[in-house]
């Protein structure tokens, strides 16, 4: 894994937003074991003030465990969590300035929407008229002002979700932890809630730590993404960086349909330029070159392949397996005798274009800076 400093420099260069934010939360060597099972390997992570940070990974990757440790529901086996410079591991849950939106929302069934939302203020002994004022304000933000007197059972999934968010926001926490809050919603509602959550976060300026297993959700919503797999951080960075510059094979295959060509080895190397040898030919690449010459994977995004590119330095001859016209783009599946997997190419559809025939040979090229070279193993060998 690259150090965080290099990650941030890279992302700044990619996105053009270079403002340095202070870390709100500093997680150091945090480790969680359940008996002999390791849920989280020692990890370091900074959560920056005001950012939308998504923790993404397949199930069992430890992302919910990490969230629960930060919230205080789970005691770590080792490590530290500092909130603005102070260790908070011994701070009880109800004294941490964080609030959680639970996966099942955990709305109190015997309380109305207003009752649920006001709970955090009520237990703090806030005065009645102040509570009413704050509840109105937060319900206004989430668009539930009209439904304040309904019970959770009388709300739709999206409305329950908004109630849970309002309830978490009302105490003005420094950090809101969201544990797969959109998992229970249908596709349409999920998309609406994605942009809604993002806009609420931007307007309120509260730091969001969002956990999901859905890579497209992570890419759409986040300022930064932390990719977890088997309890270890695979990469931290901005969405574009993870997509175009994966740090390793796992990240490359986790985001989008990546084409993986392996095994590769570097034959010539100068700065960000390298000549590599792959099962499908010799290529030139212009990207971050790992500090090893063997055991590498070349990843090329489907949209980076261009048909019939004799002018490209990197050319592969494929056999066409299938051509799928999906409106704005055409997806072509390609096979090469030396590759176990089918290669995917996505190109913009054009009305005059004739798609290649299935079974025919096709010459495909890609630019040397439209690919990345990553280690095959996730952890340095």
Partner 1 sequence: MKPGRLRDILLGSTTVAVFVLLYLPILLVFVLSFFSMRRGRINWQSFSVDWYVRLFENEALGAALYKSLVVGLLAVAGATVFATLVALYVNSARASRLSKSIEYVIYLPFLLPPIITGLSLLIMFRELDVPRGLFTITVGHAVFVLAIVYRIILTRLKALSGTLVEAAHDLGASRLQTFRYIILPNLRTPLLTAGLLAFALSFDETMITLFLTGAEATLPVRLYAMMRVGFTPEINALVTLVLGFSIVLTIVVALTWRNTTGLEGHSSRSSGQ
Give the pair of three-digit tokens for residue 365.
Answer: 């090229």
Please choose, out of 115-123, 266-274, 285-293, 347-355, the segment that lies near partner 1 by the rule CB under 8 A.
115-123
Residue of 6, 29, 154, 294 interacting with partner 1 (CB under 8 A): 154
Q: Which of 20, 153, 326, 350 binds partner 1 (CB under 8 A)?
A: 153
Which positions from 88 through 107 interact with partner 1, judged by CB under 8 A?
92-95, 98-100, 102-104, 106-107
Q: Give the Å distances, CA to CA, from 147 to 84, 109, 138, 169, 196.
A: 37, 15, 13, 17, 18
Is residue 34 part of the contact set for partner 1 (CB under 8 A)? Answer: no
CA atoms of 6 and 167, how far apart (whole Å): 38
Instruction: Please identify, using beta-carbon distances, which residue of 78 and 123 lies nearer to partner 1.
Output: 123
Query: Least distance (Å) from partner 1 to the CB of residue 166?
Result: 12
* Binding window for partner 1 (CB under 8 A); candidates: 147-155, 201-209, 305-313, 369-377: 147-155
* # residues near partner 1 by CB under 8 A: 32
- Binds partner 1 by CB under 8 A, chosen from 22, 75, 78, 123: 123
Radius of gyration of the chain (CA): 24
**Residue 171 interacting with partner 1 (CB under 8 A):** yes
Q: Is 166 helix (H, G, I), strand (E, B) or coil?
A: helix
Minimum CB separation of residue 177 from partner 1 in Å reads 9
- Pair 359, 319: CB distance under 8 Å: yes
CB of 59 to partner 1, least distance (A): 18
* Tokens of residue 100, six digits: 């959680």
* Residue closer to partner 1 (CB basis): 39 or 219: 39
Which residues, in sequence order, are bridge partners of residue 78? 31
Of 71 and 139, nearer to partner 1 (C-beta) is 71
Interface residues for partner 1 in 59-78 (CB under 8 A)? 71-73
Residue 262 preceded by cis peptide, ω within 30 = no
Element of type H or E holding 274: strand 273-278
Q: How far is CA 103 from CA 38, 68, 174, 215, 311, in A?
A: 23, 12, 20, 17, 51
Least distance (Å) between residue 131 CB and partner 1: 13
Query: Helix, strand, or coil here: 187?
Result: helix
Nearer to partner 1, 26 or 74 (CB): 74
Please state the φ and ψ torsions of residue 301, each to the nearest 5 degrees: -70, 145
DSSP state for residue 75 in the 8-state scheme? -
Among residues 61 and 99, whose Cβ is nearest to partner 1?
99
What CA–CA distance (Å, rounded) separates 62 from 145? 37
> Using the rule CB under 8 A, which residue among 57, 120, 148, 356 binds partner 1?
120
Q: What minimum distance in Å lies between the beta carbon of 209 and partner 1?
A: 13
Tokens, residue 170: 């009302």
Question: In this complex, which beta carbon is closest to partner 1, that of residue 122 or of residue 137?
Answer: 122
Which of 16, 35, 85, 109: binder of partner 1 (CB under 8 A)?
109
**Can residue 167 be called a binding residue for partner 1 (CB under 8 A)?**
yes
Q: Which residue in 157, 279, 309, 355 binds partner 1 (CB under 8 A)?
A: 157
CB burial string 340-359: b at 16+ within 10 A, e below: eeebbbbbeeeeeeeebeee
Quote the least distance from Cβ 94 to partner 1, whole Å: 5
Strand-strand pairing, 52-56 and 207-212: parallel
Interface pick for partner 1 out of 75, 78, 84, 108 (rule CB under 8 A) = 108
> Could you tell me the two tokens for 350?
């054009």
Nearer to partner 1, 72 or 290 (CB): 72
> How far, rounded to the nearest angstrom, does the alpha carbon of residue 174 sit from its chain's CA centroid?
21
Report in angstroms the alpha-carbon separations of 206 from 99, 191, 197, 327: 11, 21, 11, 39
- Regarding 119 and contact with partner 1 (CB under 8 A), the answer is yes
Q: Could you tell me which stretch among 28-36, 155-163, 300-308, 324-332 binds partner 1 (CB under 8 A)?
A: 155-163
The binding site for partner 1 (CB under 8 A) comprises 71-73, 92-95, 98-100, 102-104, 106-110, 119-120, 122-124, 152-157, 167-168, 171
């Amino acid at each position: 894994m690259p150090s965080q400093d290099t990650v941030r420099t890279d992302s700044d260069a990619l996105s053009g937003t270079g403002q340095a934010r202070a870390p709100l939360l500093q997680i150091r060597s945090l480790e969680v074991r359940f008996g002999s099972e390791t849920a989280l390997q020692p990890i370091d992570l900074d959560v920056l003030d005001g950012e939308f940070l998504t923790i993404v990974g397949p199930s069992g990757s430890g992302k919910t465990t990490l969230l629960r440790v930060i919230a205080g529901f789970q005691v770590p086996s080792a490590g530290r969590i500092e909130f603005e410079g102070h260790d908070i591991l011994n701070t009880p849950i109800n004294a941490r300035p964080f609030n959680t939106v639970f996966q099942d929302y955990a709305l109190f069934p015997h309380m109305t929407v207003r009752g649920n939302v006001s709970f955090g203020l009520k237990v703090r002994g806030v005065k009645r008229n102040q509570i009413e004022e704050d509840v109105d304000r937060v319900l206004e933000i989430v668009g539930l002002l009209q439904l304040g007197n309904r019970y959770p059972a009388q709300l739709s999934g999206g409305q329950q979700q908004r109630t849970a968010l309002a309830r978490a926001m009302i105490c003005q926490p420094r950090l809101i932890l969201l544990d797969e809050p959109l998992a229970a919603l249908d596709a349409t509602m999920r998309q609406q809630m994605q942009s809604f959550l993002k806009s609420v976060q931007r307007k309120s300026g509260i730091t969001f730590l969002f956990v999901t297993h859905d890579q497209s959700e992570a890419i759409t919503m986040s300022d930064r993404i932390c990719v977890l797999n088997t309890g270890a951080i695979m990469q931290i960075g901005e969405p574009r960086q993870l997509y175009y510059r994966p740090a390793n094979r796992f990240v490359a295959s986790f985001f989008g349909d990546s084409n993986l060509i392996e095994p590769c080895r570097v034959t010539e190397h100068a700065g960000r330029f390298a000549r590599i040898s792959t099962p499908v030919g010799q290529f030139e690449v212009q990207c971050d070159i790992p500090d090893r010459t063997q055991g590498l994977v070349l990843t090329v995004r489907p949209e980076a392949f261009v048909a019939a590119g004799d002018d490209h330095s990197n050319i592969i001859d494929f056999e066409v397996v299938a051509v799928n016209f999906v409106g704005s783009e055409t997806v072509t599946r390609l096979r090469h005798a030396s590759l176990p997997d089918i290669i995917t190419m996505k190109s913009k559809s054009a009305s005059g274009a004739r798609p290649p025939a299935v079974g025919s040979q096709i010459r495909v090229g890609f630019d040397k800076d439209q690919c990345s070279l990553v280690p095959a193993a996730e952890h340095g060998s």
